[in-house]
Amino acid sequence: MREPTAPAYYDRRAPEYDDWYLGRGLFADRDRPGFADDLARVTDTIAALPPARTLDVACGTGFLTQHLRGTSTGLDASERMLAVARQRMPDAELVQGDGLALPFPDDSFDRVLSGHFYGHLDEAQRAVFLAEARRVARELVLVDASLAHSEVEELWQPRTLEDGSSWEVYKRWFTPDGLLAELGGGHVLHAGPWFVVVRSPR
């Protein structure tokens, strides 16, 4: 299936999604030097953000959401992803919805956080997402994939899940400065070999 943000893919992947972070399952034998250390720096960066009313768009299993301080709301299109997030964060507010049509009034939050969502959007979708994020919050924090460990900046990436199903997912990799240029400016919070984290004000 070739669709930039196919909810069906994430529904299928939900039970194994955290394996990518934790190096389990299909990722157990992958050579990812420095990945765990870089991920730890990312979660430390998120935990160090000032407490705020934060909306995590495409929160998935809540793997990153759980590190936020303040009041957090997680939104995801996949109910199966949210089911995992509910187990991880039973007291959190979790909403099933479209990351490109946020079901919240203007200025509902202090911050929008989004991890590994922006890099799956095509050009038109990116413009919609940024408009929506700026509408509901005065600050945007993005976590995404670093170009340091990729030979290409974008591609349709074939993926096979544990159930044997095959998918194609649109994916991009970033330099911190390149990502900030797309957002219209801001600050680099983390620049690692596997991850980049940036903050951009409205």
Instruction: Give the single-character DSSP code of 146.
Output: B
Q: Is residue 184 part of a domain?
A: yes
- Is residue 1 in some structural domain? no
What separation, in Å, do the N-terminal and C-terminal C-alpha atoms of the chain show? 35
* Mean pLDDT rounded to a whole number for the chain: 95
- Residue 113 falls within a domain, yes or no? yes
Residue ranges making up the domain that contains 125: 7-201
What DSSP designation does 2 have? B
User: 104 exposed, middle or buried (CB, 10 Å; 0-12, 13-18, 19+)?
Assistant: middle
The verdict on residue 150 lying in a domain is yes
Tens-digit pLDDT profile for residues 86-122 = 999 998 999 999 999 999 999 999 999 999 999 999 9
Q: Is residue 108 part of a domain?
A: yes
CATH value at residue 102? 3.40.50.150
Q: Mean pLDDT, to the nearest integer, of 6-19? A: 92
> Is residue 88 included in any domain, yes or no?
yes
CA–CA separation, 129 and 173 (whole Å): 18
pLDDT above 70 covers a percentage of the chain that reads 98
Q: What is the DSSP letter of 50?
A: P
Among 97, 89, 96, residue whose Cα is nearest residue 71: 89
Residue 22: CB partners within 8 Å, gap ≥ 6? none
Number of structural domains, the chain? 1
pTM for this one? 0.95
> pLDDT digit string (tens) for 152-184?
999 999 999 999 999 999 999 999 999 999 999
In a domain, 2, yes or no: no
d(CA 31, CA 73): 34
In tens, the pLDDT along 53-67 reads 999 999 999 999 999
Asked whether residue 37 is assigned to any structural domain, the reply reads yes
